Amino acid sequence: MSQHLQLKLNDGQKHIDVTIVSYNNSDTIQECIASVRHLGNVDKIIVVDHGSDDTAKQATLLGAEAIQDPTNPGYGQGQNHAVKLCKNSFILLLNPDAKIVPDAILQGLEYLTKHDNVAAIQGIIKSFDETVIERSHGNNIGLIHLYGRALGLKRLLKYRFIRRIFSNNNLLKDHVNRIPTEPVKTEALGFVAVLMRQAAFESVGGFDRSFFMYGEDMDLCKRLTNKGYELVSLPTLWALHLGQYSSGSNFNTELLWWQGTLRYAYKWWSTRDKLLLKVAQVIEFLKLSIKKPSEIKTIYRHLFLN
């Protein structure tokens, strides 16, 4: 840690609280909390445990405040619960399968204290083995993204000439250029380890309770920017993320992703775009039904009864 940052922290004015919502994350919670402990300026670590394993017990032994809620009302409601117990002006909303880079979080905290209109900030998110860079910020999701997902067009990004084309498209370049060269304003942040101004979070009422998992972060970002706040992505390695840990299989992840994203789309999109979206829903339904014919009722429920 640099001397400058250490001196800033010693003034006692820039401490943070950390909120974690867990679902059967006993295998990752220790590393997650240990990385937070290296910050040195954390007053509270609050773990809301929606699962049935011993995550809450482990978190308590590590000095966190653990809250058990086996009803599992969803990520957003868990975070709303935890944030209400926080006292500091800045909160790190952290996934239980992530390990933060402490110096990066401290740099983000300094940035927030100097930019009053920035509600939330996050840096570069990589996989645990640091081979994959996640799309941790970018444009609000639109029709082109959902059609691309339904048609499986993401696999085209492995071709260099396709990546070159997408890198010049304002709607899609965030899928190719995932590392900013400087702090950049963005429409949305993918919530892995987001440093948030508590007053901004409370000003929009926190997460929308109608979302379960996926889509709630986009929705919160949309409401923050509609209120006039800015969101910023930093060009700094911020955290390592295991990913898809709580959602289980790839099939289950896909269903939950579509369910949450469709809820966002039907909340915010125009009537025209919502009509055009139905074709993408049908394509995805047919694709998943062919793969898992025994799950047709479950697929239909996630894709159409939203």
Question: Tokens 């919530």 label which residue?
Answer: 191
Return the pLDDT at 7: 35
Residue that has been written with the tokens 């014919």 in this structure: 293
Q: Report the run of H or E that residue 72 belongs to, with start and end.
A: none
22 strand-pairing partners: 49
Global pTM value: 0.89
| pLDDT of res. 171 | 66
d(CA 271, CA 258): 19
List of the chain residues with pLDDT < 50 = 1-13
Cα(288)–Cα(61) distance, integer angstroms:
42
AA letter at 109: L
Domain residue spans of the chain: 3-136+178-241, 140-176, 250-304
SS3 state at 155: helix
- Give Cβ neighbours of residue 262 (< 8 Å, ≥ 6 apart): 215, 277, 281, 303, 306
Tell which residue, 304, 306, 226, has the closest CA to residue 260.
Answer: 306
Structure token digits, residue 299? 């697929």
Which pair of tokens denotes residue 210?
């109608």
Supply the DSSP string of 12-31, one letter for each residue: SS--EEEEEEESS-TTTHHH
Options 3.40.630.30, 3.40.1180.10, 3.40.1160.10, 3.90.550.10; CATH for 3-136+178-241 is 3.90.550.10
Query: What would the pLDDT profile of 234-273 be if each residue is shown by its tens digit?
Result: 999 999 998 755 555 689 999 999 999 999 999 999 999 9
16: its two tokens: 């943070």
